[in-house]
Structure 1
Amino acid sequence: MELRIRKIVTFAEQVMFEGEKEADPILRVFGVAAVVRNPWAGRGYVEDLKPEIKAFAPKLGKLLTDQIVALAGGADQIEAYGKAAMSGLDCEIEHASALIHTLRFGNYYREALKAKSYLGFTNTRGPANTQINIPLMDRHDTGRRSHYLTVQFSIYDAPADDELIAAFGGASGGRPHHRIGDRYQDLKDIGADIDNPAGL
């Protein structure tokens, strides 16, 4: 079975003002999504998803990584990153999840950015034009709250009922005028151990 990609959709915005104050530098936020036919559609319940994961996840990971790096103007222009999956109404959530929750998908993006953080994610289901939400975090530091952002966009004709969407998101920096501190200061303030915040 071949991976059938119906379309690639890109999203980009430049945030120039936030809260009546000019953003300096301008924050660039971008996303790229592949709309694909669900390879498990029409087959009933499929127990073993691994053959399609191994065949298709690397192709999507490489394609979307190349697309978002080009959209950003280079891997060094991406400070925050994340991923998302969406299932059409006749698809299991597990089907979309299968395409992105594998190192065969996300490692292409992670390695291109030389990133240390894991990729934040969402798994959702919806009809065409459902908003895709891609949570972002700093590519090297999961506790750096300035880079907690969300890429939001929709595709007017996707997903169809038998389609899946796989997506990457990124940003050139953190929120303009971020001023809520970071996880490490909170831990220090409450006297918690950075390596064991729950005290377990």
Structure 2
Amino acid sequence: MAPTSETLTPERILEATEEVLRRHGPAKATVVDVARALGVSHGSVYRHFRTKAALREAVTKRWLDRATATLTVIAEEDRDAESRLRDWLAALFAAKRSKAGDDPELFATYQVLTGDHGDAVAVHIDELTGQLARIIESGVDSGTFTTTDPATAARAVFHATGRFHDPGYARAWEKPGVMDDFTAVVDLVVRGLRAD
């Protein structure tokens, strides 16, 4: 039996949207396709997401947020800042590599969508750099790191490691030696943050 609009939730719509995007790509996927996949009218979808753009932004945010949960746990752990920073950067790289390697069609689709929805990306980056700032600040408080401004240092760390999380570099993530390169960059970043 086809689902009814009463059982329709934003989460179900986002799941169906992701499948439709995987199948058709961002240029051809429509709200009608999403509604058809759910067995409802497109009006039912619009009751939850007022526009196609709002639906695409929500599905983009959902995709970006998937990595954030694991990173939040690492950022909030009660252990030394240096190991948390290393683990956080490694988890971010692993999450991005997994997204690119496990489902390349959907990854390519989201590259298009994130370009179209810069606000969702900006919020995501602010959240990530905020987590980095908290880690760095805890390192400053413990005397492990030295910096006058953890927020500025966090943005610098984020940009310095961009090759390992910016989707524009995805093709390089499977090349031989990438983990050695990652480790070298993280070592350099940590040395730069350490207190004298």
Shorter-chain TM-score range: 0.3 to 0.5
Higher strand fraction: Structure 1 or Structure 2? 1
By relative contact order (CA 8 Å, sep 6+), the higher-ranking structure is 1
| TM-score, normalization by structure 2 | 0.36
Considering only CA atoms, is the larger Rg found in Structure 1 or Structure 2?
2
